[in-house]
Chain A
Amino acid sequence: QVQLQESGPGLVKPSETLSLTCTVSGDSISGFYWNWIRQPPGKGLEWIGIHFFSGRTSYNPSLESRVTISEDWSKNQVSLKLTSMTPADTAVYYCARDRKGTSDYWGQGILVTVSS
């Protein structure tokens, strides 16, 4: 059974960079695509970006200038960096495995609050 676990700070100050890690167990991250998705409190899901197994990435145009998604095969982890955080970035952040365009396995999510 594939399991995903997000980790990182729960509180970030405005203008700082958010760094989150998604640790995958039960399968190798190689050979799959990996999404980061977020959900502001009380709102819907927003796709942040994807890491393809070719090493290529693609990001939501609204966030593209601030986002980097990377993989660490040795640790079986996928990471997200989001720069210049503002209160509007407060959300639950999820990682999800992507299989043929479908997010089939999701982490439990991590709430990140942006506040001074």
Chain B
Amino acid sequence: QSALTQPASVSGSPGQSITISCTGTSSDGTDYSYVSWLQQHPGKAPKLIVYDTHKRPSGVSDRFSGSKSANTASLTISGLQAEDEADYYCSSYTSTSRVFGGGTKLTVL
């Protein structure tokens, strides 16, 4: 059994920074070396905001940054804005499978 575990919710005030964690566990010792992050607004498809753990696709704000330490990846959003309120999912892969975290709801107070 493999899983990526995220907190169910986080919140922050405009202008603040928040961090969402994503911890990988695997019964077969799979190392989720590379993590991507997706942002999903209500009723919309997910949008890629970070890939290969820390890279940003073209057009994504540099307020979004990714990092990883041991088996935990993190997404940091700095200078929170109202438009950042959304669900965030981490994702990783092996040679034969893809896996998603359970998602984190970000509330901008």
Tier of interface size on chain B? 20 to 34
Asked whether, in the complex, the Cβ of A107 is within 8 Å of the Cβ of B36, the reply is no
Asked whether, in the complex, the Cβ of A47 is within 8 Å of the Cβ of B45, the reply is no
A35 is an interface residue with CB less than 8 A from chain B: yes
A103 and B45 in contact (CB under 8 A), knowing A44-B89, A44-B103, A45-B89? no
A101 and B38 in contact (CB under 8 A), knowing A45-B89, A47-B97, A109-B45? no
A46 and B97 in contact (CB under 8 A), knowing A102-B48, A102-B51? no
A100 is an interface residue with CB less than 8 A from chain B: yes
Asked whether, in the complex, the Cβ of B102 is within 8 Å of the Cβ of A44, the reply is yes
A103 vs B57: C-alpha distance when bound (angstroms): 12
A70 vs B48: C-alpha distance when bound (angstroms): 24
Chain A residue numbers with a CB within 8 Å of B99 are 47
A108 is an interface residue with CB less than 8 A from chain B: yes
Interface secondary structure of A, over-half rule: strand
Asked whether, in the complex, the Cβ of B97 is within 8 Å of the Cβ of A102, the reply is no
A28 is an interface residue with CB less than 8 A from chain B: no
Best-buried of B45, B48, B51, B89 by chain A (most CB within 10 Å): B45
Asked whether, in the complex, the Cβ of B57 is within 8 Å of the Cβ of A50, the reply is no
Using a CB–CB cutoff of 8 Å, the interface residues on chain B facing chain A are 34, 36, 38, 45-48, 51-52, 57, 89, 91-93, 96-103
